[in-house]
Amino acid sequence: MSSSPDPLDDGETRARAPAALHRPAPRPPLARIRRRLLLREVNERIRDVSTDFCTQHECEFLCECGDPDCRTPVSLSLAEYGDVRANPSDFLTAPEHGGGAGADVVARHDRFTVVRLRRVRPAT
């Protein structure tokens, strides 16, 4: 069985294809969840060392959107941060980052957004 060249591929098809076709597949949801949890841990450390400095003012935390390229700082008071942490399924994100896959926006503020991860039910 011989393999003939694809008549639709003139050798330049890939070069002319939209950039979106060349991007790697999105990270699996589990990787994004792990990143969110890691950023939450970093933010907990920021809170721990900031209690003496941020009692009256806002502190800068890290966006917990889960995007591996995100480095966006998010400003909020320690009281607001405590409110975000009241529900263990809630994560802090920059306002423009929203919920993303597997998460719903539960609160919008001018400086930050709170998203809640959806519970995944195992397939039966």
Q: Could you tell me how many residues make up the chain? A: 124
| Cα 114 to Cα 74, 89, 111, 119, distances in angstroms | 11, 10, 10, 16
How far apart are alpha carbons 92 and 72 in whole angstroms?
A: 11
Residue 113 tokens read as 């957004």
Asked whether residue 120 carries a pLDDT value surpassing 80, the answer given is no
Each residue of 56-104: pLDDT tens digit?
A: 678 999 999 888 899 999 999 999 999 999 999 999 999 988 767 678 8
Angle at 18 between CA 12 and CA 19, to 5 degrees: 105
